[in-house]
Amino acid sequence: MSFDVTDFKTLMRLESHGPDVFVGIGPPYPWGRVYGGQVVAQALRAASATVETDHRVHSLHAYFIRGGDSDEPIRYEVDRIRNGRSFLTRRVVARQSVGPILNLSASFQLREEQVDVQEIEIPADIPAPDELPPNDWGPILERRTVSDGSGTGTRASCWLRVAPSIGDDSILQACALAYASDDIPTEAASLSHPRRPPLTAESDEYDRLFVGASLDHAIWFHRPGRHDDWVLHDFRGQGIVGARGLGIGRLFARDGTHLATVVQEILLRERTR
């Protein structure tokens, strides 16, 4: 069975299947398995459905347990861990017939008017998205790659936005950030490996050399933004140890606002046969 989902709003339209249980579907992806960003975004959408609207997500941490099947719906079970006066905590387990595929914890904060200090700036050497050619891998996420990975560095940068426009809903915008955030960190983390082929190589060269997967994923939401507009995802690899690579990145709006920080650890194991 294949699901005809070609826009982000439809992807985030979860069905209620009882108290704090939701079911979502998604499109097929070129690599066969469910895109991890979809599962993180839908899990955050499920958690947000149990939270008062005056609270906003400020962080999440997700563990990828198994690869998901695009031909099967995903069941999201929400656990209301704690309702405090300022902070709310939720846990979400995403399941398919094979068992759990993702475990996510998210924290939501009551909106507070406090000091806002931004210590970092958008990199000065980044071309505008309109100056770059498209390299989309699906209809929901539009991409404009800045660095092609052909050099010796460990930096991967890309302008990303979900399509089409999703309006001013702050929950949908946060979910759009989560959806896009799983695209670039794997690329940056894998560039640390001395055998990693350049991104300009044949598409199957990476899979011939490595067994890879996302292991865990963390997001800190600093400021609200529009993720149906171009956002720069600027990541750097932090090295490889124990077949695990780490990518750390910052997300910037076009006006230079620092929107979020993302950290992801990946499995990068060399094939032995």
Residue 27: is its pLDDT beyond 90?
Answer: yes
Q: Is residue 124 included in any domain, yes or no?
A: no
Of 249, 190, 191, nearest in space to 217 by CA = 249
C-alpha–C-alpha distance, residues 38 and 181, integer Å: 10
Per-residue pLDDT tens over the stretch 81-121 = 999 999 999 999 999 999 999 999 999 999 888 999 999 99
Give the domain CATH number at 77: 2.40.160.210
Of 144, 136, 162, 143, nearest in space to 7 by CA = 162
Q: Is residue 167 included in any domain, yes or no?
A: yes
Of 170, 188, 162, nearest in space to 247 by CA = 188
Question: Where does the pLDDT of residue 206 fall: very low under 50, low under 70, confident under 90, or very high at 90 and above?
Answer: confident
Q: Is residue 121 included in any domain, yes or no?
A: no
Question: Where does the pLDDT of residue 199 fall: very low under 50, low under 70, confident under 90, or very high at 90 and above?
Answer: low
Q: Is residue 118 included in any domain, yes or no?
A: no
The set of residues, in sequence order, having a beta carbon less than 8 Å from that of 126 and lying 6+ positions away, is 146, 157, 232, 234
What are the phi and psi torsion angles at 49 (to 5°)? -70, -15
| 63-72 burial: b if 16+ Cβ within 10 Å, else e | ebbbbbbbeb
Predicted pLDDT at 272: 81
C-alpha–C-alpha distance, residues 113 and 95, integer Å: 38
Helix (H, G, I), strand (E, B) or coil at 4: coil
Q: Is residue 117 included in any domain, yes or no?
A: no
Write the DSSP symbol of residue 129: G
Q: Is residue 55 included in any domain, yes or no?
A: yes
Domain ranges, residue 194 = 8-110+132-270
Q: What average pLDDT does range 213-218 have in this prediction?
A: 95
Q: Is residue 115 included in any domain, yes or no?
A: no
The reported pTM is: 0.94
Question: Where does the pLDDT of residue 210 fall: very low under 50, low under 70, confident under 90, or very high at 90 and above?
Answer: confident
Q: Is residue 250 included in any domain, yes or no?
A: yes
Structural domain total, the chain: 1
